[in-house]
Structures are given as C-alpha cells and as structure tokens.
Amino acid sequence: MNRLNLLQFYREFLPVGPQTPTISLGEGFTPLIRSRHLGRQLGLENLYFKFEGTNPTGSFKDRGMVVAVAKALEEGARGVVCASTGNTSASAAAYAACAGLPAVVVVPAGGIAPGKLLQAVAYGAQVFAINGTFDRALEAAVELSARANLRLVNSLNPHRLAGQKTAAFEIVDELGDSPDYLFLPVGNAGNISAYWLGFKEYRAAGRTTKLPRLAGFQAAGAAPIVLGRPVPKPETVASAIRIGHPANWDSAVRARDESGGVIEAVTDDEILAARRLLAKLEGLFVEPASAAGVAGLVKFRSLVQDPRAVVVCVLTGTGLKDPAPGFDVESRVYHVEDLGQILETLGLEVSPRSSG
C-alpha cells in the first residue's frame, strides 16, 4: 500500500522546497476516532479523539521532528540537540538516525519515563542526564546548539511547530471543517500554539469556515500559565507536561485568547482517572499527560453547551512507554488453582465439557 508522506502531502503549508530531503518514518495521518461511550456519558453527540500514539515513536512530536531534522539536513547541520521530558528525545533520536545525523539529548535526571529514555538510547543518541528540572536541561541544550553547531530541535525551533500544525490540517480534512472545540494537554505549550497556527492557516486558505475554541490543560502541580507565574519545582505524574516555564508561553496565551478558549488545571488524580476511562471505555491506552485534555473535558464539561458541538480531544501519545501510573495490576489479577475457580469467579452458566 502506498502510504502518504507528511512532508510532501502538506508541502504548500510547510517550509520545504525542492532541496529539502523528504525523510519519513511514516509519521502523521493518525486516526480520528469517534467516541462510542465517553461521549454518551458526557452528553456529547460528536466527540472525537485524535490519537497521536500511532506515530512512529509513539507521540505527536514526530510531526515536528520530521520537518526540523529534514531542515537540519538540508542546511548542513553537524547534528541535532534537544532537551526533553522524554518524547522529544525519542523522536529526535529516531529522525536523526533516519537522516544519518548524530543526536545529543539532555534530560532532567530521574525525570523521564524509562521507556522514553530507552528509546533515545536504542536509536543511538548520546544521552546526558542533568541535575535539575526540564528548564535547566533546555538551557544546556540551547547553549550546546550555539557553541557546537548542533541544530536545536526543541519547540523553540520554528520548524517543529510548522510540522505539528499538520495535525490541525488532518482534523479539518477528515471532518470537512474545524471542530467547535479542541481539548489538549499543555506543557511547553508548543502544541497548542501549533494547532492554532494550523487552523488559522487553513482558514486563510479557505479550507475551513470557522476556528475552534481551544481548551488547554496543565497539571495542577505544573500550571504556570494558569497561575500566571513560573513554577520553580513543577510536580506531576504526567512527566511530559512537567514544565515550570513554558518556552511558548506567550503564543499559547495568544492562541487561548484569540480562540475564546481557556487554559485550566487538572489534578493528577483527575488525569489518571481520565487515563483509566479512555482505556476501559474506548480501548485507547495513552500516557498520563495525554489524558489531561480528557480530564479537562470531564472536569469542565459545562464549557461545551451544545450537545451537538463537534469536540476533538487530542491524545498526544501512547500509553506503552509509561504504563504503570493509574493501574494497580496486581490487585486486578486473580490467582487460581484450576478451571473450576475461573468459572466460579466469572459466575457464568456453564455447559457440559465439550468433546472436541
């Protein structure tokens, strides 16, 4: 089957030209899944999930990284560097490998999910764990990029946001217009800024008649935009949004205000409850941060007045890299001696032993 290439498919909206190498690991074109259960529970007839966990390294970061690394290659950079709460490093390392460039990754020591760290190592990046927060790791990465001719591929790099806009394009292409509301997690605030750019560019190009209201959600222990001041020691189970001083703070606030939307906080308990709901009610297993948008929809349900409104929740990444939080597996597994105990526990009517 002929898979679409993201760089080529949306090239008129991307900073790519004939000289840009069209690298690809199969990013983008992620499913927009119509809710079968949660929407009904919430009284919403048109609830959708944009599931970014199907991207090659398991998060939406791949959309931006394919553009940033292609441009680094085009411009002759010696390699790429990033700071990361996890998914950016996995993505940078994978696309650098694909492009044949070295990758340098700086992470906050002890602050990233083991599965994500493992990815960066597996894809061959040089990984440095620095004491302190993500913001400190980012300072180091910025310094390295300036002093060692390594291309910075954090969301301060505008090519990252350019690539991430494509998720907004896909939603419009699939629905035929913009949704009425877009719910999503907010960490470094690149993604909310990128979606807003995408919807606005599509409207300017006449591909959509309206713009959605944006509803962004930070974790309560890492909610600088909600509080209106940086958080020196951000804390949350949702490591991908454990950020105290977002790089794209101003553009996120602009996006919120221009769209008539909100940026609010949800607690870790609310995030993990939403994570469980998504898995159990919809069959969608996401990482803790990815559930923040849905936690926000549950908590601030009254934001959406019309039950027929089209609501899209962005599920930013797969659950497999950080599987444990929110699930007590041991207490949910029954240890049994024999088939009889299984039947008894299930409490089902049983027919006589089959002979075949």
| Per-position x/- string for 99-138, each x denoting binding to ligand PLP as judged by CB under 6 A, each - no binding | ----------------------------------------
Q: Answer yes or no whether residue 317 interacts with ligand PLP by CB under 6 A.
A: yes
Q: Answer yes or no whether residue 187 interacts with ligand PLP by CB under 6 A.
A: yes
Among 10, 27, 56, 61, binds ligand PLP (CB under 6 A): 61
Of the pair 99, 255, the CB lying nearest ligand PLP is at 255
CB of 330 to ligand PLP, least distance (A): 26
Can you list the positions of beta strands (E) in 76-188?
80-83, 103-108, 126-130, 151-152, 181-185
| Spatial contact of 23 and 66, defined as CB atoms under 8 Å apart | yes
Of the pair 30, 59, the CB lying nearest ligand PLP is at 59
Q: Comparing C-alpha atoms, which of 234, 154, 162 is closest to residue 196?
A: 162
| Per-position x/- string for 266-305, each x denoting binding to ligand PLP as judged by CB under 6 A, each - no binding | ---------------------x-xx---------------
Among 186, 214, 253, 298, binds ligand PLP (CB under 6 A): 186
Give the containing element (helix H, strand E) for 168: helix 166-175
Q: Answer yes or no whether residue 191 interacts with ligand PLP by CB under 6 A.
A: yes
**Rounded alpha-carbon distances, angstroms, from residue 195 to 113, 198, 256, 259:** 26, 5, 11, 11
| Spatial contact of 83 and 138, defined as CB atoms under 8 Å apart | yes
| Spatial contact of 266 and 292, defined as CB atoms under 8 Å apart | yes
Of the pair 20, 87, the CB lying nearest ligand PLP is at 87
Q: Comparing C-alpha atoms, which of 263, 248, 268 is closest to residue 217?
A: 263
What type of residue is 135?
A: D
CB of 320 to ligand PLP, least distance (A): 12
Which own/partner pairs from 135-138 qualify as long-range (CB within 8 Å, at least 24 positions apart)?
Answer: 135/243, 135/244, 135/245, 136/108, 137/83, 137/84, 137/106, 137/107, 137/108, 138/83, 138/106, 138/247
Q: What is the dihedral of CA 89, 93, 96, 98, to 10 degrees?
A: -130
Q: Answer yes or no whether residue 57 interacts with ligand PLP by CB under 6 A.
A: no
Among 30, 55, 57, 87, binds ligand PLP (CB under 6 A): 87
Q: Give the dihedral sign, CA 67/69/71/73.
A: negative
* DSSP letter (8 states) at residue 34: E
Of the pair 187, 326, the CB lying nearest ligand PLP is at 187
Q: Answer yes or no whether residue 189 interacts with ligand PLP by CB under 6 A.
A: yes
Q: Answer yes or no whether residue 59 interacts with ligand PLP by CB under 6 A.
A: yes
Of the pair 224, 317, the CB lying nearest ligand PLP is at 317
Residue nearest to ligand PLP (CB): 317
Q: Answer yes or no whether residue 145 interacts with ligand PLP by CB under 6 A.
A: no
Contacts with ligand PLP, residue ranges (CB under 6 A) = 59, 61, 87, 155, 185-191, 240-241, 287, 289-290, 316-317
